[in-house]
């Protein structure tokens, strides 16, 4: 391969919309559980900043709800002026380490917790939710307009807080993902039916966010390629949604993911299924009972493989020209370099960086891979002081 056609260096500067990142490694969003009263804590600042100190190009604050009723937990951050001082302290800390700061904006929709906000959940359709233990109301035209405005206002607040990149959550069974999935979208209007119709509202949200912030920051989406169950979004449809989002021109990149909370939770979290720890961590007695009765039979395990989303991501890479972030089981430096050679502009990492926040620095010093064992106990730690690697005392 000639120098002119050589793939980009993982550790070289890279352009993401209006941003210039110091390298092509992104710390993916992992819900932290460190936001008492829905506000930034010192522990959260350290958690989000730690991978930046370790060398990533950009680090992501996970799931900030665009409105109060979009929360799944009472203590989740939701974007409002009261949260701005803490968010500004967080972005200042990230910038001081030389990295860019990204915030993930979302709305839980169907599986929002009405007890968190005192308001009933809203969703594409009236489909029973095991999370809310009831039927959410189906969004009418007025509700859709209110939700679009909520995303736009959250985006403006995020820019005011100093974030360099806004990630719109279109995956994992959150509201915009629910519009894409026939399982949760049973509408018979222009927002339901064909994939073009089911993608309409997510596309409108992306445009509303872009119009709200202009070219001041990068705007990306975390997009499900597929949901992994019958009546969920298929890979063919996911590829088509990527094409539509590219044609709209509102986004600077896509971070490619899979899995639908409530149906295929382990489709993204490949590896061990720590059911006993999941049951012990659940605070709701009713949900804990449900997990004891049904989790062993319905929580399907998926074996871990290095870069397990790469085969599906290749389908998207062949269909669009816009920048893509490869996510899913990236633990090895040679995997990252191979992704660059296949045309992916960035790699996004979660568990590997939970195990070793200094992984990028260690790669530069000669390390070949993260020591993450894919035990998935990090996600069960969320309810016990915050998501962290339970295998490393330094992460406790």
Structural domain including 368 reads 3-395
- Angle, alpha carbons 69-72-386 (nearest 5°): 135
| Mean pLDDT of the 361-365 span | 95
- Residue 394 binned pLDDT confidence (cut-offs 50, 70, 90): very low
Which pLDDT tens digit goes with each residue over 128-185? Answer: 887 777 889 999 999 999 999 999 999 999 999 999 999 999 999 999 999 999 999 9
Q: Is the pLDDT of residue 396 over 50?
A: no
Sequence-ordered strand ranges (E) for 147-252: 165-170, 218-226
Q: What is the pTM of this model?
A: 0.93
CA 388 from centre of chain: 16
User: Integer distance in angstroms from the first to the last C-alpha of the chain?
Assistant: 45
Q: Is the pLDDT of residue 8 over 60?
A: yes
| Mean pLDDT of the 221-249 span | 97
- What is the CATH classification number for the domain harbouring 326? 3.20.20.70
CB 41 within 8 A of CB 340: no
In whole angstroms, give the CA distance from residue 305 to residue 308.
5
Catalytic hit among 174, 183, 191, 267? 174
Bridge partner list, 81: none
- Total of domains in the chain: 1
Active site residue 174: yes
Bridge partner list, 123: 138
Q: Is the pLDDT of residue 278 over 80?
A: no
Which pLDDT tens digit goes with each residue over 94-144? Answer: 999 999 999 999 999 998 888 887 888 999 999 988 777 788 999 999 999
Q: Is the pLDDT of residue 256 over 90?
A: yes
Predicted pLDDT at 392:
76
**DSSP state letters, 283-294:** --HHHHHHHHHH
Cβ-based burial of 68 (10 A; exposed 0-12, middle 13-18, buried ≥19)? middle
| Mean pLDDT of the 8-25 span | 97
In whole angstroms, give the CA distance from residue 32 to residue 11.
27
Predicted pLDDT at 134:
81
Tokens of residue 362, six digits: 């260690």
Residues whose CB falls within 8 Å of the CB of residue 295, separated by 6 or more in sequence, listed in order: 275, 278, 279
In whole angstroms, give the CA distance from residue 191 to residue 200.
6
Separation in Å, CA 130 to CA 133, 263, 287: 5, 10, 9
Q: Is the pLDDT of residue 297 over 60?
A: no
Predicted pLDDT at 292:
62
Which pLDDT tens digit goes with each residue over 347-358? Answer: 999 999 999 999
- Residue 286 binned pLDDT confidence (cut-offs 50, 70, 90): low
Strand 19-21 to 14-16 pairing: antiparallel
Q: Is the pLDDT of residue 382 over 70?
A: no
Predicted pLDDT at 215:
97
For the chain, give the percent of residues with pLDDT over 70. Answer: 90
């Amino acid at each position: 391969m000639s120098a002119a056609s050589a793939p980009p260096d993982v550790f070289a500067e890279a352009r993401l919309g209006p941003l210039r990142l110091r390298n092509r490694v992104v710390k993916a969003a992992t819900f932290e559980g460190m936001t008492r009263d829905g506000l930034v804590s010192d522990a959260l600042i350290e958690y989000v900043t730690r991978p930046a100190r370790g060398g990533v190009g950009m680090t992501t604050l996970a799931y900030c709800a665009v409105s109060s009723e979009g929360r799944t937990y009472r203590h989740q951050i939701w974007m409002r002026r009261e949260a701005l001082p803490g968010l500004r302290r967080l972005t200042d800390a990230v910038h001081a380490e030389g990295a860019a700061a990204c915030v993930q904006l979302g709305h839980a929709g169907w599986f929002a917790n009405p007890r968190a906000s005192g308001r009933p959940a809203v969703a594409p359709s009236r489909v029973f939710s095991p999370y809310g233990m009831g039927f959410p109301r189906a969004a009418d035209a007025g509700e859709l307009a209110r939700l679009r405005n909520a995303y736009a206002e959250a985006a403006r607040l995020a820019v005011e807080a100093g974030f360099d990149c806004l990630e719109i959550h279109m995956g994992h069974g959150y509201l915009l993902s629910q519009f894409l999935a026939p399982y949760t979208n049973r509408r018979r209007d222009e927002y339901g039916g064909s994939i073009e119709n089911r993608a309409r509202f997510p596309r409108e949200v992306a445009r509303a966010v872009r119009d709200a912030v202009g070219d001041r920051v990068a705007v990306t989406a975390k997009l499900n390629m597929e949901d992994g169950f019958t009546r969920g979004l298929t890979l063919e449809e996911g590829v088509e949604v990527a094409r539509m989002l590219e044609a709209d021109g509102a986004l600077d990149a896509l971070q490619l993911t899979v899995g639908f909370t409530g149906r295929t939770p382990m489709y993204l979290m490949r590896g061990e299924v720590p059911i006993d720890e999941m049951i012990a961590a659940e605070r709701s007695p009713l949900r804990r009972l449900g997990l004891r009765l049904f989790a062993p039979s319905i929580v399907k395990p998926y074996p871990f493989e290095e870069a397990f989303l790469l085969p599906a991501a290749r389908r998207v890479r062949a269909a669009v020209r816009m920048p893509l972030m490869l996510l899913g089981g990236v633990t090895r430096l040679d995997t990252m370099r191979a992704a660059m050679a296949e045309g992916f502009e960035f790699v996004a990492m979660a568990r590997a960086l939970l195990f070793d926040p200094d992984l990028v620095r260690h790669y530069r010093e000669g390390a070949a891979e993260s020591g993450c064992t894919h035990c998935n106990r990090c996600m069960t730690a969320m309810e016990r002081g915050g998501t962290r690697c339970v295998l490393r005392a330094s992460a406790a």
